Structure 1
């Protein structure tokens, strides 16, 4: 009997020793959320709100690390290669997991195969903003100016979303712009404010303060319906390009192979955070709409977005780099 008990104890110890990391208590140390854009961007704002609440709920630090460059591709590729243990996460977007696959001939990661989607964290509305010193007060004025000087009006491309929006708008309106690429939206916005670049499509969370202060002029929103943040601003669809309806989104991702129990735990926590009144209140003035769904639903959504944004890139006539 003693031998049988000892054998059973030994077998149990062996099973514990080989248990997957995800089955152990998570998190047991600091977690890093990599944001593939600069501080001050809409995705950065969403990540910091989530990180703050995740830290409080899970009793571990959630560190936000900004790695801007190549419309998010550099940081995303790095996270794809990280250990699949739940301690390195990505605040991905429709740039990293949508249009980048069509914008680059060679992408150092696969947006579907290399990631485990965790949670859909929000949808971002966009402004079309201008240097207020320009004598352009409306979408009609902008189109007229672009037709008068083809390819001379410059736009800042701080993300693949802003680039796709600008080129889709230009094609729909029968005009052309001069693209000036940037590593992320915040420095691009700085140059529009400073008058070095004429215009850009920018998420409301990054631009709203400058629009309200008058250092930027917003002339339209990019969604099908007018925004409650700026109800007097027309949509592009109602002024120039029929059916123009574009917004961006963010979501939390882990490297592929991350234990499902960690993915589900984080999905539950993030969805609970998105339902908090103070989070909704903080998101609303920035034009961020929370959209909690299951990890499985978010996975299907990401798969459809890769197809959707690739089609938009092609329709806009953007050549991959």
Structure 2
């Protein structure tokens, strides 16, 4: 009997048997209503019954996600505090800040890739432009007068890459997250914004925002009539964002593997894929190792994009 128990103990680690035993918190680096917030809440909704514990989504905004990410990097490595990271927190922030209080690779254990987000270029409907060409003409005629809302590092990189590629100058208006930035574009206080479809699609459909283009090289199935920036202004412009689930470094491997299996099972559910698709999010399940490699490549990629766009670190 003792021998049998010993064998069971070896083949089924205690962590795997008992985790989770209480609420799990997913920290989101951006405001409620943002694309990452939407993804986190959907994940929590579907993961809760599979894991037998509730999920709490906590929004900690500021510094293009660095505040939340730093906090999670210092949390207990027990699987109960997770981060819904993005290509801002685990990509461009490495180049946007001279001093970052976390290491996106060393301080985190990647769990699962959760989705790729398509982006719109949207404008205040009262702005006298109805195409990307007209926007470029306006910006060239009035250098520095066209303003763009910057609610995340992704939106900053996209805007500056667009400006550099099309030969225009625009004035950055910084925000702590996308939702308040979008509100000011709709209110006419800022002219344009690069924003994830999940945050903007309802306002675009209602006419309170005008979408001029999508940021991927291929047209979006969600908005097939919209041209791409590649087609209209900047050749080979092809940018999107992503989200993924992370835990603090040192979190037990069996906990990471369990969460990866459950997240991937949720992402494979037809209703989840359909809900994601209507928001311009493509579910992309990956193994832990594949996602870890992806994150490393994305840190390098977005660091290069920041430098190529001529954005100076703060």
Q: TM-score range by the shorter chain?
A: over 0.9
Q: Secondary structure at the match of 1:33?
A: strand
Alignment of 1:188-203 (within 5 A): 188-203=181-196
Alignment of 1:20-169 (within 5 A): 22-169=15-162
Residue 121 of structure 1 contacts residue 250 of structure 1 at CA under 8 Å; is this kept in 2?
yes
In structure 1, the partner of 2:224 is 231
Instruction: Tell me how far apart the structure 1 counterparts of residues 248 and 169 of structure 2 sit (CA, whole Å).
Output: 39
Instruction: Tell me how far apart the structure 2 counterparts of residues 59 and 20 of structure 1 sit (CA, whole Å).
Output: 19
Q: Secondary structure at the match of 2:53?
A: coil
- Is residue 212 from structure 1 mapped to residue 205 from structure 2 by the alignment? yes
Structure 2, unmatched stretches of 5+, are none
Instruction: Tell me how far apart the structure 2 counterparts of residues 36 and 314 of structure 1 sit (CA, whole Å).
Output: 23
Instruction: Tell me how far apart the structure 1 counterparts of residues 35 and 49 of structure 2 sit (CA, whole Å).
Output: 22
Instruction: Tell me how far apart the structure 2 counterparts of residues 304 and 194 of structure 1 sit (CA, whole Å).
Output: 38
Number of matched pairs? 309
TM (norm. structure 1) is 0.94
In structure 1, the partner of 2:285 is 292
Instruction: Tell me how far apart the structure 2 counterparts of residues 314 and 215 of structure 1 sit (CA, whole Å).
Output: 34
Instruction: Tell me how far apart the structure 2 counterparts of residues 202 and 274 of structure 1 sit (CA, whole Å).
Output: 23
TM (norm. structure 2) is 0.96
Query: 1:152 Cα deviation (Å)?
Result: 1.1
In structure 2, the partner of 1:173 is 166
Instruction: Tell me how far apart the structure 2 counterparts of residues 285 and 191 of structure 1 sit (CA, whole Å).
Output: 24
Q: Secondary structure at the match of 1:300?
A: helix
Q: Secondary structure at the match of 2:310?
A: coil
Superposed CA offset, 1:73-120 (max 9, x none): 000000000000000000000000000000000001000000000000
Q: Secondary structure at the match of 2:293?
A: helix
Residue 132 of structure 1 contacts residue 216 of structure 1 at CA under 8 Å; is this kept in 2?
yes
Residue 13 of structure 2 contacts residue 254 of structure 2 at CA under 8 Å; is this kept in 1?
no
Instruction: Tell me how far apart the structure 2 counterparts of residues 216 and 266 of structure 1 sit (CA, whole Å).
Output: 38
Query: 1:22 Cα deviation (Å)?
Result: 3.1
Residue 71 of structure 1 contacts residue 96 of structure 1 at CA under 8 Å; is this kept in 2?
yes
In structure 1, the partner of 2:179 is 186
CA RMSD of aligned residues (A): 1.6
Query: 1:281 Cα deviation (Å)?
Result: 1.3
Superposed CA offset, 1:201-237 (max 9, x none): 0000000000000000000000010011111110000
Instruction: Tell me how far apart the structure 2 counterparts of residues 22 and 46 of structure 1 sit (CA, whole Å).
Output: 27
Residue 157 of structure 1 contacts residue 185 of structure 1 at CA under 8 Å; is this kept in 2?
yes
- Is residue 247 from structure 1 mapped to residue 240 from structure 2 by the alignment? yes
In structure 1, the partner of 2:276 is 283
Residue 84 of structure 2 contacts residue 244 of structure 2 at CA under 8 Å; is this kept in 1?
yes
Structure 1, unmatched stretches of 5+, are none
Instruction: Tell me how far apart the structure 1 counterparts of residues 140 and 29 of structure 2 sit (CA, whole Å).
Output: 35
Query: 1:20 Cα deviation (Å)?
Result: 8.1
Give the greater-gyration-radius structure (CA).
1
